[in-house]
């Protein structure tokens, strides 16, 4: 069963309850009928009264089955209608999610390319606004699943899938890859925040800004290292020369809630742990062990921490 944070989830729960109620009723009916049969059989077998009873029971049974199936059919049709009526053909918000081993690349589509927002491993959604989610994969099959909002949908390399979401309740939810995709499949989570429209807009504006320039000499040294070392061959930081797309976008890294797709909470210590040895934290992931000495490590972390 899914939690009720989204329209599909709620409808699903309602259908599930209906289904449980009707099947439970029939379960009890069969058992009661059987017990009654055993009790009556001995006394009424062969008599005219017994035969009348059997005929009535059969008719009652057929009527109950027809009624039960009708209620189920009407119920599922009605909830299908509710979902499709609530979501317009062209939802106002479109998000493209590309799965990679083992992280999520997130782009908020916009007709104006400059207003396209790119982030990673976190999804912010305005409450009550229908969202079209386009799903792609860069390597193997993954599956997109936010249990509180809706059911699963696969991300398949070379294909585009989509999913419609309508969050109905604000809160923090967890998304998770739901199709085994390699060693670090378990560490492929997605932080989902459903918030009021106004704060979503604020978040969007903040994310569209280029990266904050380094504010201390240490952070400046870190900036220079990130630009001149391996980091820039894999990561993009808007407003700097780093523009590669092999790893997650780091423009507003420090504003996220976790590191490496939910592997570690976002804290200074965990940033150190991640940069010092990503393979120790998440063995087999595609960010290599680089081997900074402590001075460089301090500088790089100081810079990353400033990327609010």
Partner 1 sequence: MSSRCRARLAALAALALLSACDREERQSRAQPVPETLPTPRQSILQPGVPARTAADPRARAYENNSYQMSQGQLLYQKMNCSGCHAHGGGGMGPALSDAEWRYGGSMEEIVATIDQGRPNGMPSWRGKLTEQQMWQLAAYVRSLSAQPRQDVLSSRPDAPSSTEPATLQSRQPVVPSSPAGVQGTSR
Residues that bind Cu ion (CB under 5 A): 142, 177, 181, 185, 188
Distances (CA, A) of 132 to 37, 109, 208: 55, 10, 20
Buried b (16+ CB within 10 A) or exposed e, 193-202: bbbeeeebee
288 lies in the binding site for partner 1 (CB under 8 A): yes
Within 8 A by CB and 6+ apart from 114, the residues are none
Residue 294 contact among partner 1, Cu ion, ligand HEC, none, beta carbon within 5 to 8 Å by kind: partner 1
Could you tell me the two tokens for 198? 């106004």
93 lies in the binding site for partner 1 (CB under 8 A): no
Residue 284 contact among partner 1, ligand HEC, Cu ion, none, beta carbon within 5 to 8 Å by kind: partner 1
For the window 214-233, what string marks contact with partner 1 as x by the rule CB under 8 A? Answer: --------------xxx-xx
Shortest separation between residue 243's beta carbon and partner 1, angstroms: 12
For the window 237-256, what string marks contact with partner 1 as x by the rule CB under 8 A? Answer: ---------x----------
Shortest separation between residue 188's beta carbon and ligand HEC, angstroms: 7
Counts of helices then strands in the chain (DSSP H, E): 8, 12
180 lies in the binding site for partner 1 (CB under 8 A): no
Contact yes or no for 251/206 (Cβ under 8 A): no
Distances (CA, A) of 23 to 10, 19, 69, 76: 20, 6, 10, 15
Summarize as ranges the residues that interact with partner 1 (CB under 8 A). 139, 158, 183, 228-230, 232-234, 246, 277, 279-280, 283-286, 288-291, 293-294
């Amino acid at each position: 069963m899914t939690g009720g944070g989204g329209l599909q989830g709620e409808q699903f729960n309602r259908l599930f309850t209906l289904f449980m109620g009707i099947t439970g009723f029939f379960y009890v009916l069969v058992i009661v009928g059987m017990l009654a049969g055993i009790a009556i059989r001995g006394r009424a077998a062969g008599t005219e009264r017994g035969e009348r009873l059997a005929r009535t029971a059969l008719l009652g049974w057929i009527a109950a089955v027809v009624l039960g199936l009708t209620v189920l059919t009407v119920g599922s049709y009605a909830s299908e209608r509710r979902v499709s009526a609530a979501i317009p053909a062209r939802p106002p918000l479109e998000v493209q999610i590309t799965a990679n081993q083992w992280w999520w690349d997130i782009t908020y589509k916009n007709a104006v390319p400059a207003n396209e927002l790119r982030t990673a491993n976190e999804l912010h959604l305005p409450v009550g606004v229908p969202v079209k989610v386009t799903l792609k994969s860069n390597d193997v099959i993954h599956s997109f699943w936010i249990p509180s909002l809706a059911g699963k949908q696969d991300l398949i390399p070379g294909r585009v899938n989509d999913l419609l979401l309508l969050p109905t309740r604000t809160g923090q939810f967890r998304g998770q890859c739901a199709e085994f995709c390699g060693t670090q499949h378990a560490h492929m989570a997605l932080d989902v925040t459903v918030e009021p429209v106004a704060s979503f807009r604020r978040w969007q504006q903040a994310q569209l800004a280029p990266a904050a320039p380094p504010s201390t000499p240490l952070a400046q040294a870190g900036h220079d290292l990130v630009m001149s070392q391996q980091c820039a061959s894999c990561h993009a930081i808007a407003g700097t020369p780093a523009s590669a797309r092999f790893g997650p976008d780091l423009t507003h890294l420090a504003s996220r809630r976790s590191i490496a797709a939910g592997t570690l909470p976002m804290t200074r210590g965990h940033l150190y742990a991640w940069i010092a040895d990503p393979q120790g934290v998440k063995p087999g992931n595609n960010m290599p062990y680089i081997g900074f000495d402590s001075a460089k490590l301090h500088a790089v972390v100081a810079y990353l921490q400033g990327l609010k």
